[in-house]
Structure 1
Amino acid sequence: MRKLPLAAALAALLLSTAVAADNGKKADKDAQADTPEAALTKPQSSTSEGSVSVEGKSIRYQAVAGTLVLHGSGDKEHEPTVSMFYTAYFKKGAKAGERPVTFIYNGGPGSATVWLHMGAFGPKRVVTADDSHTPAAPYQLVNNDFSLLDASDLVFIDAPGAGFSRLVADDKDPSKRAEQMKDREKAIYGVDGDGHAFAQFITQFLSKYGRWNSPKYLFGESYGTTRSAVVANILTNDDSVDLNGVILLSQILSFDNSVDGPDTNPGVDQPYWLALPTYAATAWYHHKLPSPPADVETLIGEVEQFATGEYAQALIAGSQLDAARKQAIAEKLYRYTGVPAAYWVKANLRVSGGMFEHELQADDDTTTGRLDTRFSGPALDPLGKESDYDPQSSAISSAYIAAFNDYVRKDLKYGDGQTYREYADISHWDMSHRAPGSHEALQQSTNVMPDLATAMKTDPNLKVMLNGGYYDLATPFFAAQYEMRHLPIPDSLQQNISYHWYPSGHMVYAHVPSLKLLHDNVAAFIESTDNVKH
């Protein structure tokens, strides 16, 4: 996984799956090299049909793989800016006005949505090992017993520059086209530009397929949850599109809560204690606790109390914490995390996610996973301070990419002559964000909690569903819960938020029993909020 400066690219560390180092180097610098310019400025589509069996129920569907072309605003409203690729699945025979439609995307920022498509809710699912490295090809593609097609039509969207999505620069003059492309990157590769692009895509899709009166849902994972907060506010308050629900998986809304490199943000100690329950669950899973309880839920409950109490108070004390008290806290941290007390003392009680991943199994020269801490792999640098890569990403990425490249061409009949990009080639992502009510982008870490809160307050019927994994160290579940409980909304709207935790990691669906639970919970959420008489 690429190690990037936190201040410049923290979001890039929050991928729906980690970026392999070579991917960015191999990405074509010319965003139009794969596809003729004429094709980028016009919508494309390929239609096919299929069926899927979901928990014993057969569903026939029509699939559309294609692109919608976004345009600029103001005096550039006729200028194409992005050709966005999507795969839509429509249940055959369903009434559009009564059939929910869910817009699904991964994170990155700049990730293709291959992960949720091939791992969670599409009609086909790639088989990967549960908590170890998946052997090389051939990979197995099977009927997805837990596709969400039983509950909703599905629209999987690739972010601008990723998958088959491309930025559009169509000036005939090569030098002007290069400047045009720079303008596109500056306008779209950022929190706000990305949010407006997805919102424009969704309203175009509603018009193209006649779905304005359908129940509507957003489903975002990882940075996709950041995006969902922004898009929900844009749709609700700029486009007059009320959503039935926003479904969040592996959430991060306030980047000050990230445990990736919090040492670069001294004085903000929240990330350390918000990550502690995940450290504890991970140590329990790998049998590193000196006195483990029988189940992980009991441990998590106990550690949450310690984290918000004694541990948080010790961190707040800063330099005023005396040596004896620091040692006592370190001993408790060892009991809960398996990392030696001496290490905690040397780290001043502040251990980042990368440090924990490196140290938990250091005696075995083993690195612990980040996106899913159930995974382990050989340490690249046993003497290093932090982990150098993510074993979970290395374990499953090849299977997902190979399976989708095969499936999209053979089954969906799309993509011949084009390159499917796992990630967009982004040199800079603008993390500044103009929150609702602000006249300019705030000079602080990205925080989109006000966006989701504004959407919920201006549409008090909006329901929000939060899902997360106990073994996710990219976006710890306790941090996500903390954010939701601190949304600036009336107490009465807190009842609109539901919570679901799973014995899995960032990609909850990579653990099949958790995938079933995720499907059942999301399907029930949609059925309870779609305003359709059942």
Structure 2
Amino acid sequence: MRFAFLAAALLATVSAGAAAQDKDRAEAEARAYVPQVVTTRHQGVFGGQRLGYSATVGETILKTKDGVPEAAIVTTAYVKEPRDPARPVTFLFNGGPGSGSVWLQMGAFGPKRVAIPSDARDDGAPPYPLLDNPDSLLDVTDLVFIDPPGTGFSVILPGGDPKNYYGVTQDAKAVAQVIRRWLNDNGRWNSPKFLGGESYGTTRSAAVVNQLEGQTYNDVGLNGILLISSILDFAAGSPTPGNELGYITNLPSMATTAAYHGKGLAGTAAAEVAEQARQFAIGPYAAFLLKGARASAEERASVRARLAQLTGLSQTYLDQADLRVTPDRFYKELLRDRGVTIGRLDTRYTGKDYDAAGESPDNDPSFYGIDAGYTAAVNSWMRGPLGFRTDREYQSIGSVGPWDWSLGGGGGGRQTYLNVAPYIGTALRENSGLRVFVGQGWYDFATPFFGAEYSLQRTGIPQDRISWHYYDAGHMMYVRDEDRAKLSRDIRAFIRAR
């Protein structure tokens, strides 16, 4: 026994020594890391204006409290030349969490965009044309696309702790630090500033605003927040049993989708379909759901009939679902008679599953219908004309888990109640010059428009400086040519109106 004890003690000592050596080795490797910054110059026509611009792909190094480099954050900045410190600058990112900025950069606002079908068909096989993007916002604002750690080309360096970055608050702190550093390095502290995100990027926007304007040090005043396909109150769509709110906020998206595919209120304009569904959802339907088992048979029959009119689903199916249809079931059931399912990100898309009788879709046709084109485009553009050299893979959708969903940064799973909309309310109340742009697609089930409305129309959020804009596409409305142009015009007007 004594021998075993001594052996165990020796093994522990050796293991501790090896761990210390590994830590020292990782720290030395991190300290030796040389950030890459490369600038190229280009010309283009944006918003009808020809201008020259610089494109700078650079790595910002974030360090631990002990000064050890821990993460390399890649930003891609497009700046009009000659430079003007009084010109607006807009910081943009996508969502996920775990998504690189490829979608907004190569699909909507960057100087180049990938050409994919505009009519909800899949992008097929390469080559995918890389086109000049006249809808880029460069004529009214400089653009800085940020890829948080674990997304795009951004990485956590050897020895770095993912827990310092993988979470709502931790991520927001890192992005806010990158923004401050960019303002320092480029002499842009007094420029008009806009912040924008898509999907979880809207969650990030609210959390970053809290870091930039809600702290007592080094505040960064903002002129505007761009929320594209918003998700701010995560309870609004939570499928947790007993939560009725998701059925209410999803219903208008079901109605617009059914009409688009020739069912429900087919032939009625999407805006009118949405309004009818909103009124029913917050009126008779909400009352029925909240009554639960106390609802009468007559009330149930009336609600069932109207649900069938709006959603295009049969009354029999609605009865079997207890008048509560989850999104997955809707994707599968709406066009079951045609043998196809519909998309989640964009319900205009359809796909063919292995099993037409299944309960939920095999995959999301509105994602696999576009992802190859975007990934090819961002790699071609950044590794080619922009001159960024790395052997790292570009993470269009990276793995950034486990993610800390608690707002205090103290740990918490997705079941933790999360609502960041109050951050925006605080910012609006405390900054009289701040305005909010909200863009939503009628056919978006990832972040339904009625859920966005619900989250931003709560008490404590001033309504007079929030503008709403709607598009005839889904989550990434810019995949449709007409809506990319409209989104660009709408945001261009929003920035000019500061």
Same fold, judged at TM 0.5 (above): yes
| Closer, same or farther: CA 37–165 of 1 in aligned 2, 3 Å | farther
The reply on whether 1:281 has 2:273 as its aligned counterpart is no
The structural deviation recorded for 1:287 is 0.7
The structural deviation recorded for 1:441 is 7.6
The structural deviation recorded for 1:351 is 1.0
User: What are the equivalent positions in structure 2 for 1:471-510 lying under 5 Å apart?
Assistant: 471-489=443-461, 493-510=462-479
The reply on whether 1:150 has 2:139 as its aligned counterpart is yes
User: What are the equivalent positions in structure 2 for 1:118-157 lying under 5 Å apart?
Assistant: 118-130=106-118, 131-157=120-146
- Once residues 383 and 253 of structure 2 are traced to their aligned partners in structure 1, the CA distance between those partners, rounded to angstroms, is 39
Q: Secondary structure at the match of 1:156?
A: strand
Q: Secondary structure at the match of 2:228?
A: strand
| Closer, same or farther: CA 440–167 of 1 in aligned 2, 3 Å | closer
1:268-326 Cα deviation digits (max 9, x unpaired): 2111111111111111111122x534322222221111111111111111111233322
- Once residues 45 and 30 of structure 2 are traced to their aligned partners in structure 1, the CA distance between those partners, rounded to angstroms, is 39
Task: From 27, 35, 39, give the equivalent of 1:47.
Answer: 39
The reply on whether 1:116 has 2:104 as its aligned counterpart is yes
- Once residues 35 and 408 of structure 2 are traced to their aligned partners in structure 1, the CA distance between those partners, rounded to angstroms, is 31
Unaligned runs of 5+ in 1: 1-35, 170-176, 530-534
1:466-505 Cα deviation digits (max 9, x unpaired): 111000000001110111111523xxx3201111111111
8 Å CA contact retained: 2:255, 2:273:
yes
Which letter does structure 2 place at the counterpart of 1:254?
D
User: What are the equivalent positions in structure 2 for 1:235-250 lying under 5 Å apart?
Assistant: 235-238=212-215, 239-250=218-229
8 Å CA contact retained: 2:30, 2:157:
no
Normalising to structure 2: TM-score of the pair?
Answer: 0.90
Equivalent in the alignment of 2:7: none
Task: From 292, 295, 299, give the equivalent of 1:318.
Answer: 292
Equivalent in the alignment of 1:272: 247
8 Å CA contact retained: 1:449, 1:487:
no
Which letter does structure 1 place at the counterpart of 2:375?
I
The list of structure 1 runs, each at least 4 consecutive aligned residues, that deviate by more than 6 angstroms after superposition, is 439-443
Task: From 215, 230, 233, give the equivalent of 2:210.
Answer: 233
| Closer, same or farther: CA 292–420 of 1 in aligned 2, 3 Å | closer
Equivalent in the alignment of 2:82: 93
8 Å CA contact retained: 2:166, 2:401:
no
Task: From 438, 442, 453, give the equivalent of 1:466.
Answer: 438
- Once residues 228 and 320 of structure 2 are traced to their aligned partners in structure 1, the CA distance between those partners, rounded to angstroms, is 35
- Once residues 500 and 516 of structure 1 are traced to their aligned partners in structure 2, the CA distance between those partners, rounded to angstroms, is 13
8 Å CA contact retained: 2:442, 2:470:
yes
- Once residues 287 and 184 of structure 2 are traced to their aligned partners in structure 1, the CA distance between those partners, rounded to angstroms, is 53
Task: From 33, 37, 55, give the equivalent of 1:63.
Answer: 55
8 Å CA contact retained: 1:151, 1:523:
yes
Task: From 175, 190, 195, give the equivalent of 2:172.
Answer: 195
Equivalent in the alignment of 2:14: none
- Once residues 434 and 116 of structure 1 are traced to their aligned partners in structure 2, the CA distance between those partners, rounded to angstroms, is 29
Q: Secondary structure at the match of 1:211?
A: coil
The structural deviation recorded for 1:416 is 4.0
The structural deviation recorded for 1:37 is 4.6
Task: From 484, 488, 491, give the equivalent of 1:519.
Answer: 488
- Once residues 282 and 276 of structure 1 are traced to their aligned partners in structure 2, the CA distance between those partners, rounded to angstroms, is 10
8 Å CA contact retained: 1:40, 1:83:
no
- Once residues 300 and 33 of structure 2 are traced to their aligned partners in structure 1, the CA distance between those partners, rounded to angstroms, is 62
User: What are the equivalent positions in structure 2 for 1:137-216 lying under 5 Å apart?
Assistant: 137-169=126-158, 177=159, 181=160, 184-216=161-193
Equivalent in the alignment of 1:296: 270
Equivalent in the alignment of 1:24: none
8 Å CA contact retained: 1:327, 1:345:
no
8 Å CA contact retained: 1:158, 1:165:
yes
| Closer, same or farther: CA 243–292 of 1 in aligned 2, 3 Å | same
The reply on whether 1:395 has 2:395 as its aligned counterpart is no
User: What are the equivalent positions in structure 2 for 1:362-511 lying under 5 Å apart?
Assistant: 362-434=336-408, 444-489=416-461, 493-511=462-480
Q: Secondary structure at the match of 2:407?
A: coil
Equivalent in the alignment of 2:324: 350
The structural deviation recorded for 1:40 is 7.8
- The sequence identity of aligned pairs, in percent, is 40
The structural deviation recorded for 1:327 is 2.6
The structural deviation recorded for 1:39 is 8.8
1:92-127 Cα deviation digits (max 9, x unpaired): 02411x111100000000111100010000000101
1:172-211 Cα deviation digits (max 9, x unpaired): xxxxx4xxx4xx2122111111111111111111111111
Task: From 336, 341, 364, give the equivalent of 2:315.
Answer: 341
8 Å CA contact retained: 1:40, 1:166:
no
8 Å CA contact retained: 1:215, 1:243:
yes
Alignment size in residue pairs: 467
Normalising to structure 1: TM-score of the pair?
Answer: 0.84
Which letter does structure 1 place at the counterpart of 2:107?
G
